[in-house]
Structure 1
Amino acid sequence: MQKKEEKNSIIEICPVRNVIARFGNKWAFLIILILNENKIVRFSELCRMIPDISSRVLSGTLRTLEADNLISRKVYPVVPPKVEYQLTEIGLSLVPLINMLTEWAQTNMKKIIAHREQFETNSNAE
């Protein structure tokens, strides 16, 4: 039991595990970029803009981003419910870093894919 407690304490103080892992998935990055481009977006609009994400996964991702103060959520008291999302100051500070990573990926994608194919060919030959 002691080891598990120690492991949890390390996770809690490790920025990579504690913070970056929470927004470092493909959906969170995409949502952050969409909110950056559109400023304020309703839940239903996000569903349309990201057609291959389920409502459940979108809701969970938005909840995580909100919990980490990367986005803010505003609920209007109307029927049907109207919910809008936008980036917070901290979320906005993340956008240049995501853009740099995106640019790096676009620059290196062909090389990476070629290497994957070569690696796969070499692995199958063994």
Structure 2
Amino acid sequence: MATDVAWTPSEPADAEQACPIGPAVEVVFSRWTTPILWALDRHGRQRFVELQGRLPSITPKVLTDTLRRLERDGVITRTYHPEVPPRVEYEISDLGRTLAPLFAHLNQWATTNMPKVEESRHIYDTRPPR
């Protein structure tokens, strides 16, 4: 496979040059990012407690940290309503909505190919030790 970047063992390759989609993968595919974005896409604007209810195995700290990171990246928006008690809602931003085709393609890939992946895993896991 030809590359645009020459690399020799004495010169470490820049990660972004070696894999230009790496930074995007970091934004979109961390452990909890995809489930949060999926929930916001499917169910629309939600409060913290609603998101936590849809993702019961996430801790409040991890949910808070992930929401802050997604807001910082511009993928979601946070709306504060100064009521008593205060209300905060999260929703996908216009930038985040641009990920919808990517998620649709991944969903189709998963639907088509996960049975093959599971079969391959089973074959690998049940083979005799090397």
Q: TM-score band (shorter)?
A: 0.7 to 0.9
d(CA) in 2 for partners of 1:12, 1:43: 34
The answer to whether 1:42 aligns with 2:42 is no
Give 1:32's match in structure 2, choosing from 27, 37, 43: 37
d(CA) in 1 for partners of 2:107, 2:31: 11
Aligned pair in 2 of structure 1 residues 71, 115: CA closer, same or farther (>3 Å)?
Answer: same
SS at match of 1:125: coil
Equivalent residue letter for 2:21: V
> In structure 2, what is the equivalent of residue 3 of structure 1?
none
Size of the alignment, in residue pairs?
Answer: 119
Aligned pair in 2 of structure 1 residues 84, 15: CA closer, same or farther (>3 Å)?
Answer: farther
Between structure 1 and structure 2, the one with the greater Rg is: 2
Structure 1: where are the runs of 5+ without partners? 1-5
> In structure 1, what is the equivalent of residue 99 of structure 2?
94
Answer 1 or 2: which has greater helix percent. Answer: 1
Q: How far is the alpha carbon of 1:11 from its aligned partner? A: 4.6
The answer to whether 1:113 aligns with 2:118 is yes
Q: How far is the alpha carbon of 1:38 from its aligned partner? A: 2.2
Q: What TM-score do you get using the length of structure 1 for normalisation?
A: 0.81
Q: How far is the alpha carbon of 1:25 from its aligned partner? A: 2.5
Q: How far is the alpha carbon of 1:53 from its aligned partner? A: 0.9
Q: CA RMSD in A?
A: 2.3
% identity of equivalent residues:
36
Q: What TM-score do you get using the length of structure 2 for normalisation?
A: 0.78
Structure 2: where are the runs of 5+ without partners? 1-10
Q: How far is the alpha carbon of 1:18 from its aligned partner? A: 2.0
| Structure 1 consecutive aligned stretches of length 4 or more whose deviation exceeds 4 Å | 11-15
Q: How far is the alpha carbon of 1:20 from its aligned partner? A: 1.8
